[in-house]
Structure 1
């Protein structure tokens, strides 16, 4: 059982149930005062005058707690318990009040005489904190200084390379320094300076030298440029060796290409494309060909080098080819040539320009560059050019390879797994637009797109992200993204994924601030997510995480829209069948029944003219449909326990033979808290409420130690740490931690933050309940893995029972086919499950790598 959005405890029906949420209690000197939660989050808070005081709510608990233990950190103003601890306990935990309150004890300044003790010497007992100070000051690391020093060495090395002086530096040392800078996230700075330095050298020294020479012919100009090209290549070979780590780890991940591509482009842009040199270079190449045609000797190596410099990029070639063919056809029409001439000329041009160049036009690297740059117009021109000879499908291998490589990199990027679905949706949106506009909805390329997505989305590996299992990480992240959408609504949708942005994809200008329909945006986004969900084979992982997140949303009332919740459930039912959504539908039914049960309980209390001291709200849930939750020990305040008992008597009077187990970790409530800057209503979890109530009857400056909070709350250490961190180390901090820090320690103490303030009257602090812990994530993955093993074994038994005898390879194939919808195990794991069934005498091995079923 779990709590409703607005109030406290939760119960469960049948063997396993959920606990409630303690309300707040108030004491005479309220640093923080609290009241129990209202019955519904949408209702206004009750007036202060009518609310029961914390003293009344928890007087029984306070007296009980005082008789059980005495806090070790009591200040001079704190009341002491009447009941003294046992002798052994008092001896073990006897501390000075001054020490507990933080005041130092006086120090004996008398020096001990050599060889004997001073009179009245009392040896110090207990542990002593030893502080070891480093006498030699540690140097302060200056990253910017290291960068400048390294670049100075690199710049000096570049001067040596460009002037062709003897190498007087260690290339290995420079390589290591570049690697260090790249690991410090300075790769972009290195690239920017290297690019600027290379451009200065080419524009300055090389270009000036070429322009200053007096030449007799165009062929001589061509020779001079080729000599400069040869020298540049030699220099770039040395530079690439030094900057190799930056090239591999940074440049190749950008649209600029490799360092070699960058340096070639620098030479072409500044030398070959120069308005003075380019005409002479081209004329020189043409003169070489003319000399060969006239029977003179041809300098073949010179011509080959010239062609390599003038080679066009793929978009330039496609554009020039289309323009060239268009002009030739225009000439035919202008001169009135016969249609047969036009047809034969066009066929000849297409044969030479397209068919004979198909390998160049469908080159993997060239198409990958266009896809990286999202060059829709260039891709459309390329596809249209190939389609002139019905060769558009030749793009498929390069297209599939790029989609698979890009998607695989996103799926296995563990550092950015929280952004996985957003990145995949962005990728899918871009590729869909390319398919529609650039590839003209080609059926074959559409199949290639979907098959590539299905391939990389279902790739799995055993890693720390899945806690050593081969579960689908994509299924988990899709479930979490859906949770984000259903909790946040349209505000949770990234701007570039909105319906408005997709409709205007490819347009250079559109109004980004145009009003949008939030319901339409959420539904469109859910459709996109579901389209990606269809690719996932192992849906068991998605189901486990979606179910766990849905439970949180229902119990804590965090859904942005009930219609969106129902809409998503209907989509899943259509996609996966009624069996998949059976438990999810039962969860919605339980919440509705719980509301009716609470209404019946309150009506009965009104008939008896009984007004409960605590406004309790309970969700009674069926254990089979909901996720399992561990029982967390906690000390429940007396008035809360009384309210729980009253409800339990009412419930059992209507439903005999049922047992309620309370899950207090799921409960939440509202508390009234008085700070120096005003009164606030805090929405907190049950554990947060219990800890905050400990500060009710203390002075604002009085410290409560970690051990005191732990003993008074009764919570285990992990929950104490987690709850205190949410109260004293998060963005909203009603408590202050001493000493300050982001981690909770057993030596810390805590006080109320007198400066706490928020613009809103009602402040939500209980985000800790919505956050998944690493332990919960690991438990979910391991449970899914265990279920997949059972499903695999069940599939093996079904196949063996139907076939009686079957070969090993055929059995593996049948099992993979049968378990595809829930999640296919690795072949090695399937073999392990077969061995387990053999040990249990469900089947046995036979000769010829065969298996037979044992009835």
Structure 2
């Protein structure tokens, strides 16, 4: 066998081994192959191909047309070992230089091909066993490279976004070179590092050092964050995309790669966002005094901009964080102000955005509290506006409609798609407290509103639409504690509608009574008795008419016989004197009725009576539909042309107030069938009235509005007094009933139980309860304990 030393140091001029390339090392730097075009892997660089070559050569003289592997065995020392060590030392030096060249920006000193580096690494690690030394060398070169990059970044004169562009280029170059080293030094990673679990891979070694040196120093991090602030502040102020936004997008990518995105970018960006929008919020609200709706629109615009910017530039997890931070910064310290102002200035969609914004900053309790306060104040203002009592219910219904719509469309939980229950309960509580601002009046006006609806009827709308109007009014009725007031006024209005035949529909009247009885107040059963009285009265009238002759004027008589306990009218001590012909007809009917119903007493009440009077004017005859009081006054002018007020009073013996109102309706209203001297709206004692023969109207039948048919101030006051009187009796009965059952109670216990006992009818004031208890003590229904004056004892 030829001396291996001579083979490996063969003279350069010899071509003996030109065709034989070693697969272990590049022996000569002056190889015939071009250094940049030699394939990275030899054809027989794997054990499989070598095995196939050997198998093919067994027992045959094969002409090898390619390189031959030379393996040397048994030379571990001596001259051969020294020669090999020298060869590997030289190879190690060249490999070190190659690594250094790859880790130096702008270097073109790579002394061999990439394949040469790859093959040399294999030889150093797998053959020479010098993996540890190569790893330490690589580690040192990486440290030097990173230090050079840091110094370059610190010394550059660029600022702001342009500096970030330079930083991005540096990161891109370093990451690319590390990836190249990972590829070329594969055998170091696979054959050495994997066998030493405590050592980081080439990638981790390089990236860890880069992270420690670049991202741990104050100067570079400060420059990065200042550049980020400069970029985002410019975009926020200008409302445009920065020309170098791509630098920031690439920066985010590199920071994520090096696992410093959270601490370098995200945290700083969130802090900057908080600071920026806090200042902007202060400027708008405190300095510029912007209105709530303007501020809200600005907040929506800003949060949408921030969300869009974050979505384009940042990690998914940052998008929601940025939006939330912007909202919190804008609203921090503004929730109370915003909530107070927003209901005055915002409607519909704006309130939906308001709800979403308050929800995102955990401000719904504040918004709910202010919503409740706003509703309560609005209701109180409507209820306390005495100048618009007649419009109270319509205004309440309009506001209730707005509040309900807001609940359904704006205050909705996104998860459940249901109304927020806190706001729903707040609305009910606010209306209830708002109604208490003026005791009794809301309940009275609701009853009168329903009365107007029942008298006017559907007027072209469907049954369902008319029923919806009634239900809306009853929805307000739920908020009042004065159920007895509503019941009293509704009862009186229903009686007038039925007796004067002003109700639009008996079916709706019965349906309404049924609904009130079943859903609101069991005592509304009185309506059934009223309809029974009317039905019986009609039957009696048909029987009476059947007994008299067809030509009798009594055929036009209509009498309603009513039970006083059912109908809400007080008995009159005196009434108007009717003309003799009218009185005679009534006397005849009284005789007929008493024969049929012995023991019954008839008391005539003409206050709600009506009549049709035929009048002859210069323009032609007219049928005047008037109240019975009006008819009595008009019939006086059959005998005389002019009559003074005092004379009319003597002839009719009508109540003074009733007569003045009656004459006002005939001589001072729009349809003046009488005239008076002197002219004026009021009726005075010295006024003289005369028949207006020049009266005209396009209709043949003319209805003269009767003030008697309307509730006068005096009558309204009497009704209120009647209600207060009933309440006193109701409280007395409740207190006695409670004490009879309990025998003895403290003042506080008795007060609470009394309120519970009567709250379905009305909620009494504490002072009234105390007054009623004192009255019962005086009447000896109760007595105070001799030792504890706060304790009441029932007197059997």
Please say whether Structure 1 and Structure 2 have the same fold, judged by a TM-score greater than 0.5: yes
Residue number in structure 1 paired with 2:437: 459
Equivalent residue, structure 1, for 2:534: 591
Structure 1, residues 214-272: CA drift from partner, whole Å, max 9, x if none?
xxxxxxxxxxxxxxxxxxxxxxxxxxxxxxxxxxxxxxxxxxxxxxxxxxxxxxxxxxx
Task: Identify the match of residue 446 of structure 2 among 478, 488, 495.
Answer: 478
**1:588 is paired with a residue of what secondary structure?**
helix
Greater displacement, 420-429 / 563-572: 563-572
- The structure 2 residue matched to 1:421, chosen from 361, 370, 393, is 393
Distance 2:424 2:285 in 1: 37
> Is the contact between residue 776 and residue 782 of structure 2 (CA under 8 Å) also seen in structure 1?
yes
Write the distance in 2 (CA, Å) between the matches of 1:804 and 1:369.
55
Match of 1:662 in 2: 604
Q: Which moved more, 1:310-319 or 1:657-666?
A: 310-319
1:329 touches 1:342 (CA, 8 Å); kept in 2?
Answer: no
How far apart in 2 are the matches of 1:611 and 1:680? 22
Distance 1:690 1:591 in 2: 25
| Aligned residue in 1 for 2:670 | 731
Normalising by structure 2, report the TM-score.
Answer: 0.61
1:722, 1:537 → 2: CA distance? 34
Partner of 2:723: 784
Which of 742, 761, 775 does residue 822 from structure 1 map onto? 761
Alignment of 1:381 onto 2:353? yes
Greater RCO, CA 8 A, separation 6+: 1
Aligned equivalents of 2:518 and 2:448: distance in 1?
Answer: 20
Q: How does 1:101-112 map to 2 (within 5 A)?
A: none
Give secondary structure in 1 for the equivalent of 2:481: coil
SS in 2 for 1:851: strand
Give CA deviations for 1:533-554 in whole Å, capped at 9, x if unaligned. 0111121111111111111111
CA–CA distance in structure 2, aligned partners of residues 386 and 719 of structure 1:
61
**Pairing 1:189-268 to 2, within 5 Å after superposition:** none
CA distance in 2: counterparts of 1:306 and 1:837, whole angstroms: 65
Q: Is the 8 A contact 2:642 2:689 kept in 1?
A: yes
Contact 1:483 1:550 (C-alpha < 8 Å) held by counterparts: yes
Task: Map 1:306-325 onto structure 2 (within 5 A).
Answer: 308-310=286-288, 312-325=290-303
CA RMSD, Structure 1 to Structure 2 (Å): 2.7
Aligned to 2:205: none
Q: Which has the higher helix share?
A: 2
Shift of 1:719: 2.1
CA separation of 1:394/1:840 partners in 2, compared to 1, >3 Å: closer, same or farther? Answer: same
**Offset of 1:328 from its aligned partner?**
3.6
Structure 1 position 605 matched with structure 2 position 545: no
Residues 455 and 358 of structure 1: CA distance in aligned 2, closer, same or farther (over 3 Å): farther
Name the CA distance, whole Å, in 2 between partners of 1:529 and 1:346: 45
| Partner residue in 1 for 2:176 | none
Equivalent pair of 1:671/1:689 in contact (CA under 8 Å): yes
Which runs of structure 2 are paired with 1:92-171 in the superposition (5 Å)? Answer: none
Deviates more, 1:530-539 or 1:636-645: 636-645
2:493 maps to which of 539, 549, 568: 549
Question: Could you tell me how far apart the structure 1 residues matched to 2:656 and 2:728 are?
Answer: 34
Distance 1:307 1:620, change over 3 A: closer
SS at match of 2:745: strand
Q: Structure 1 588/359 Cα, relative in aligned 2: closer, same or farther at 3 Å? A: farther
CA contact 1:631–1:663 (8 Å) conserved in 2: no
Q: Is the 8 A contact 2:513 2:525 kept in 1?
A: no
1:517 paired residue number: 461
Q: 1:767 to 1:359 in 2, by over 3 A?
A: farther
What pairs with 1:375-414 in structure 2 (closer than 5 Å)?
Answer: 375-414=347-386
Q: Distance in 2 between matches of 1:837 and 1:378?
A: 58
1:797 equivalent in structure 2: 736
Counterparts of 1:333 and 1:613, CA distance in 2 = 91
Residue matched to 1:748: 687
Select 2:456's aligned residue among 466, 483, 488. 488
Task: Return the offset for 1:638.
Answer: 2.0
Q: Which residue of 690, 694, 707 corresponds with 2:632?
A: 690
What is the CA deviation profile of residues 68-94 of structure 1, one whole-angstrom value per residue up to 9, with x for unaligned ones?
xxxxxxxxxxxxxxxxxxxxxxxxxxx
User: Cα distance, 1:348 vs. partner?
Assistant: 4.8
Unaligned runs of at least 5 residues, structure 2: 1-233, 239-278, 413-418
Partner secondary structure for residue 622 of structure 1: coil
2-side partners of 1:445 and 1:307: how far apart?
27
Change (3 A) 1:603 1:374: farther
Map of 2:524 onto structure 1: 581
Offset, 1:322: 3.5
Report the 3-state secondary structure (helix = DSSP H, G, I; strand = E; otherwise coil) of the residue aligned with 2:457. helix
Aligned partners of 2:310 and 2:319 also within 8 Å: no
Q: Could you list the runs of 5+ residues in structure 1 that have no partner in the other structure?
A: 1-278, 284-300, 461-470, 492-515
SS of 1:704's equivalent? strand
Alpha-carbon offset, residue 807 of structure 1: 1.4
| C-alpha distance in 2 between matches for 1:411 and 1:306 | 36
The answer to whether the 8 Å contact 1:614/1:639 transfers is no
For the residue of structure 1 that corresponds to 2:612, the secondary structure is strand
Residue deviations 1:754-774 (CA, integer Å, cap 9, x gap): 221111111111422221111
Out of 443, 446, 455, the position equivalent to 2:421 is 443
| Pairwise CA distance, 1:561 | 1.8
Query: 1:641, CA displacement in angstroms?
Result: 1.9
Query: Within 2, Cα distance between the matches of 1:306 and 1:610?
Result: 88
Q: Alpha-carbon deviations, 1:756-797, whole Å to 9, x = none?
A: 111111111142222111111111101100110111111111
| Alignment match, 1:649 | 591
2:271 corresponding residue in structure 1: none
Cα distance between partner residues in 1 of 2:426 and 2:776: 40
1:711-726 equivalences in 2 (<5 Å) = 711-726=650-665
State the match for 2:95 in structure 1: none
Please state how far the C-alpha of 1:661 moved relative to its aligned partner.
0.6
Deviation at 1:359, TM superposition (A): 4.2
- Residues 681 and 762, structure 1, Cα contact 8 Å, conserved in 2: yes
| TM-score (ref. length: structure 1) | 0.57
Number of residue equivalences: 514
Give CA-to-partner distance per residue, 1:809-831, whole Å, 9 cap, x none.
12111111211121122211111
2:614 alignment partner, SS class: strand
Q: Distance in 2 between matches of 1:359 and 1:431?
A: 26
* Cα distance in 1 between the residues matched to 2:706 and 2:577: 22
Deviation by residue 1:581-621 (Cα, 9 ceiling, x = unmatched): 12222111111111111011112225xx7734562110000
2:772 aligned with 1:833: yes
Kept in 2, the 8 Å contact 1:384–1:392? The answer is no
SS in 2 for 1:621: coil
The separation in 2 between residues aligned to 1:667 and 1:442, in whole angstroms, is: 54
SS at 2:793 equivalent: strand
The structure having more radius of gyration, on CA atoms, is 2
Residue pair 2:306, 2:323 contacting (<8 A) in 1 also: no
Number of the residue aligned with 1:636: 578
Cα 1:657/1:324, change in 2 over 3 Å: same
Give the conservation status (yes or no) of the 8 Å contact 1:634–1:715.
Answer: yes
Instruction: Report the secondary structure of 1:566's partner residue.
Output: helix
Kept in 2: contact 1:583–1:625 (CA 8 A): yes
Bigger shift: 526-535 or 343-352?
A: 343-352
Is this contact kept in 1: 2:293–2:345, CA < 8 A?
A: no
In 2: Cα distance, 1:832 partner to 1:555 partner: 39
